[in-house]
Amino acid sequence: MERLLNMMKLYEIKCSQLIQFTYGEDGLVGENVEFQSIISLKLSNQLFECLCKFDLTQREKSIRKYITDGVIRDLYRNESLELLDEEWKQLNEDRSDLRQIFPTDDISKIVLPCSVEQVIRGVQKLTERLIIAKRDDRLSQIHRLTDVAFHWLCEEIEIRFQQAQVQAEEIVGALAAQSLDKPATQMTLNTFHYAGVSDKNVTLSVPRLKEIINVSIKPKTRSLTVYLTGQATNNAEKCKQVLCRLDHCTLRKETANTTLYYVPDPQDTVISEDQEWVSTYYEMPDQDMTNISQCFGDCLNVIFNDDNTEKLVLRIRTVDQTKSTTNNADSTRMDDDTFLHCLEFSMLSDLD
């Protein structure tokens, strides 16, 4: 079961549908990505250093023609030089990481959600149209942007990346089958690998796929992985004690206290945690519900809040049946208070 949980960690199941799969392991939709090339991967180390590194010691001779020695000394003491050095180190680290992520020789086939070069060219054309006095020096030739344009560029790249991500709860249809192909194949192979191994007796292959897709409430081979802390992590006897406690754990051992509340109106409540969702529950139109169990008949009314809420609530109340029963039946019928106490005792003792 642990392997199946690891396989399903990227899957989200809701409303009996498989939704929100990770497309191609990057989480990006196909219509918002394109083949691009990263210039820094093509350049040699010498050319990359020439374009991206600012070394004041190498340019000191050329700048002495225009500024005094005092200004040069101030430049060496300026904190901005440390920022430039850190930026150069970060560029080298990013370049090394990109070469590990994209080890292929054809680096023009890299799939990215945003064409940075295209966005930069668009910003440059905009700034060129807004310039009052055009200059032709080298400082304005290669990706030279104003502070406002640079911040707008960063925001535009972030917006395009967010737009390329898979939207939450999007039903993917055929893409779900593509994403499920590899883990499903591995799970089928494990069926043969673990044949005859008692410790690996879990549902695999097609039966397990049916449970996943149909969101089965009762899986055939249920299991739970519990990670221990403290002394039990390295002590086998402690582990056995924890296992025994889990096997014999009932609702009574996990319950701090119990209280019965008298509320005549079924659509009202005196418990603060119930007030919001109880009113919302009864605002929904009535539907014909089928009984899960015939043991209690129509004497109980059970409602519960959403499974995703932070605090789960199960609301159990008795139903007034005085009008539907005869006098003979009333003489043998248990009163509500005694009945709820018996139900409470049964739940605390039998539920594990």
Same domain (yes/no): 211, 275: no
Over residues 171-177, the mean pLDDT reads 54
Over residues 223-228, the mean pLDDT reads 79
Confidence of residue 175 (pLDDT cuts 50, 70, 90): low
Q: What is the pTM of this model?
A: 0.34
Same domain (yes/no): 248, 190: no
Closest CA to 18 of 224, 202, 191, 211: 211
Over residues 209-226, the mean pLDDT reads 74
- Encoding tokens for residue 37? 């090339």
Residue 312 within any structural domain of the chain: yes
Given this model, what pLDDT does residue 5 score?
Answer: 45
Residue 153 within any structural domain of the chain: no
The continuous run of DSSP H or E covering 17 comes out as: strand 17-19
For the segment 253-262, what is each residue's pLDDT rounded down to a tens digit? 878 888 888 8
Over residues 124-137, the mean pLDDT reads 58
Same domain (yes/no): 293, 305: yes
Same domain (yes/no): 189, 245: no
Three-state secondary-structure class, residue 303: strand
Q: CB within 8 A of 48, min separation 6: which ones?
A: 40, 95
Total domains in the chain come to 3
Domain that holds residue 286: 258-350
- Count of helices and strands (H, E) across the chain: 15, 6
For the segment 12-62, what is each residue's pLDDT rounded down to a tens digit? 444 444 544 455 556 676 667 777 777 777 778 888 888 787 777 766 667
Same domain (yes/no): 293, 315: yes
- Greater confidence, 290 or 319? 319
For the segment 238-279, what is each residue's pLDDT rounded down to a tens digit? 888 888 888 888 888 878 888 888 887 777 788 877 777 777
Distance of alpha carbon 16 from alpha carbon 12, whole angstroms: 10
Residue 62 within any structural domain of the chain: no
- Asked if 170 contacts 20 with a C-beta cutoff of 8 angstroms, the reply is yes
- Greater confidence, 297 or 323? 297
Given this model, what pLDDT does residue 193 score?
Answer: 65
Closest CA to 87 of 125, 131, 49: 49
Scanning the chain, the segments in alpha helix (DSSP H) are: 2-7, 39-42, 45-52, 56-63, 69-76, 79-101, 116-130, 147-164, 174-193, 205-213, 236-247, 251-254, 275-283, 327-332, 336-350
Residue 207 within any structural domain of the chain: yes
Same domain (yes/no): 275, 248: no
Residue 98 within any structural domain of the chain: no
Residue 268 within any structural domain of the chain: yes
Same domain (yes/no): 311, 341: yes
Given this model, what pLDDT does residue 48 score?
Answer: 82
Indicate the residue among 255, 273, 306 that finishes a domain: 255
Same domain (yes/no): 217, 230: no
Distance of alpha carbon 85 from alpha carbon 283, whole angstroms: 63
Give the other-Cβ count within 10 Å of 334's Cβ: 12
Residue 59 within any structural domain of the chain: no
Residue 215 within any structural domain of the chain: yes
Same domain (yes/no): 209, 280: no
- Encoding tokens for residue 191? 């069926």
Same domain (yes/no): 251, 309: no
Lowest mean pLDDT, pick from 138-142, 284-288, 299-303: 138-142
Same domain (yes/no): 175, 239: no
Taking only Cα atoms into account, the Rg of the chain, rounded to an integer number of angstroms, comes to 34
* pLDDT of 180 strictly over 60: yes
Same domain (yes/no): 251, 275: no
